[in-house]
Amino acid sequence: MKEFFKVTTIEAVLALRNVFGRSGTERVGIEQALGRVLAADLLAPGDIPGFDRATVDGYAVRAASTYGASEGAPAYLAVVGAVEMGRTPIQAVGPGQAARIATGGMLPQGTDSVAMVEHTGVIDDATIEVYRSLAPGQHVVARDEDAAKGQTLLSAGIRLRPQELGLLAACGATDVNVFVRPRVGIISTGDEVVPVGAVPLPGQVRDVNTHTLAALVGQCGGQAVLYGIVPDRYEALLAVCRQALAQNDMVLVSGGSSVGTRDLTVEVLAALEQSRILVHGVSISPGKPTILAQCGAKPFWGLPGHVTSAMVVFMVLVRPFLAHLAGWINDAPVRVPARLTRNVASAQGRVDFVRVRLTRQTGEIWAEPILGASGLIRTMVASDGLIAIDLNSEGLEQGAPVDVVLF
């Protein structure tokens, strides 16, 4: 009855991403584009801001007119007008002259810098004195300083943050070409699993995995499609898996931590059209009994039934595949360096993932391992992230530096 997995390493599993293609693309309005993945490089359609622009309130001048100016020996300049916001200044400004300008205004012809109002004094309606010497370009954003026409500003494959949306707006992009969010079918199995709305009888548990996995999919930019709970019967599971494969870009079956249910998942996978098991067992803990198959052009995962194991496998393995489908290149999760609060043992020959809580003490960040059986969802609730203990390590000592991947 003992199972011999030919376990695959994490790296070997991740290398299989290239078996699969990427999502198609679509255009969405920039109001809807936060968190979406850019599908084409963004080139600057013109110079931005497109004109030399004041960064302070004051007087647009020719810098040379102020050379040598100081509090003791100010430069005296003739005020020849004021720049109106949003308009081309009609008047050129010559040597020894100045034009009033507000922050964001366009520098008049003949000027190259702005004297801050704080460094000037008003003599009369037509004359100011300037107390500091200016350099050309001072207090000015050059016409192409934010972007020069044709420059690549954003690369395809990045996930859009607020500032990227700002840059798109600056380029006049009211909508943007992004990858379609991959659809991910989620199936729970297990004769002991009942819907969240049901009252479990003794021996039954509520379906936690569907909701946890759906939220993880959403967080990573996918669209979860729920298929509910399927009993541990070949025909029932095969029918739902076939339907989920037809309707989605990837399928996750969770449940079946027992050998019997795992065998059932493998049997169903073998019966699916154009299917091929790529991975059956991964050298990680928790999550060893993970299955990855290729069904046509789509990845199909058999995840452990324990919710914490399923979450770890999602973060370590499924997430990078989802990112790949989604066209997302810069998908490395945030890692916070910390030190371990206590010794943690680990078995050689597998990568151990340990849930940790972060605490800050005496200016340092500490990672405190959260213990508990891998079926316990509260251990995930108590945690801020995961640390990995290497394949060849027998454990880490108190004080050891670790990288915490945040949830």
Please state the closest distance from residue 182 (CB atom) to its own copies, in A.
17
Residue span 320-349 as binding mask against its own copies, x where in contact by CB under 8 A, dash where not: --------------xxxx------------
Q: How many residues bind its own copies (CB under 8 A)?
A: 104
Contact between 68 and its own copies per CB under 8 A:
no
CB 352 within 8 A of CB 388: yes
Contact between 150 and its own copies per CB under 8 A:
no
Contact between 218 and its own copies per CB under 8 A:
yes
* Interacting residue with its own copies among 161, 274, 342, 349 (CB under 8 A): 161
Locate the DSSP E strands across 18-119: 25-29, 42-43, 53-54, 58-61, 75-82, 97-101, 113-116
By residue count, the chain amounts to 407
Residue span 103-142 as binding mask against its own copies, x where in contact by CB under 8 A, dash where not: xxxx----------xx---x------------------x-
Q: Which is nearer to its own copies, 129 or 145 (CB)?
A: 145
Please state the closest distance from residue 163 (CB atom) to its own copies, in A.
4
Segment near its own copies (CB under 8 A); pick from 71-79, 192-200, 233-241, 346-354? 192-200
* Interacting residue with its own copies among 37, 60, 66, 89 (CB under 8 A): 89
Q: Which is nearer to its own copies, 65 or 374 (CB)?
A: 374
Please state the closest distance from residue 91 (CB atom) to its own copies, in A.
13
Contact between 84 and its own copies per CB under 8 A:
yes
Find, among 65, 6, 17, 16, the residue nearest to 328 by Cα: 17
CB 299 within 8 A of CB 24: no
SS3 assignment, position 63: helix
* Interacting residue with its own copies among 81, 281, 375, 395 (CB under 8 A): 375
Three-class HEC string of 283-332: CEECCCCCEEEEECCEEEEEECCCHHHHHHHHHHHHHHHHHHHCCCCCCC
Contact between 381 and its own copies per CB under 8 A:
yes
Question: How are beta strands 175-179 and 25-29 bridged, if at all?
Answer: antiparallel
* Interacting residue with its own copies among 6, 18, 73, 87 (CB under 8 A): 87
Cα separation, 278 vs 261, whole angstroms = 19
Please state the closest distance from residue 343 (CB atom) to its own copies, in A.
21
Contact between 264 and its own copies per CB under 8 A:
no
34-63: which residues touch its own copies (CB under 8 A)? 34, 49-51, 53, 55, 57
Cα separation, 16 vs 39, whole angstroms = 22
Please state the closest distance from residue 176 (CB atom) to its own copies, in A.
11
Partner residues linked to 351 by β-bridges: 284
Which CA distances in Å does 383 have to 24, 145, 314, 337, 355?
Answer: 36, 44, 16, 15, 6
Q: Which is nearer to its own copies, 214 or 291 (CB)?
A: 214
Find, among 368, 312, 302, the residue nearest to 339 by Cα: 368
Segment near its own copies (CB under 8 A); pick from 27-35, 63-71, 234-242, 271-279? 27-35
* Interacting residue with its own copies among 168, 180, 245, 386 (CB under 8 A): 168
Contact between 190 and its own copies per CB under 8 A:
yes
Q: Which is nearer to its own copies, 118 or 235 (CB)?
A: 118
Residue span 227-246 as binding mask against its own copies, x where in contact by CB under 8 A, dash where not: -----x--------------
Question: By CB neighbour count within 10 A (0-12 exposed, 13-18 middle, 19+ buried), where does 113 fall?
Answer: buried
**What percent of the residues of the chain are helix, what percent strand, and what percent coil, each to the nearest 5?**
20, 35, 45
Question: By CB neighbour count within 10 A (0-12 exposed, 13-18 middle, 19+ buried), where does 91 fall?
Answer: middle
Question: How are beta strands 385-389 and 335-340 bridged, if at all?
Answer: unpaired
Partner residues linked to 386 by β-bridges: 355, 405
Contact between 200 and its own copies per CB under 8 A:
yes
Contact between 6 and its own copies per CB under 8 A:
no
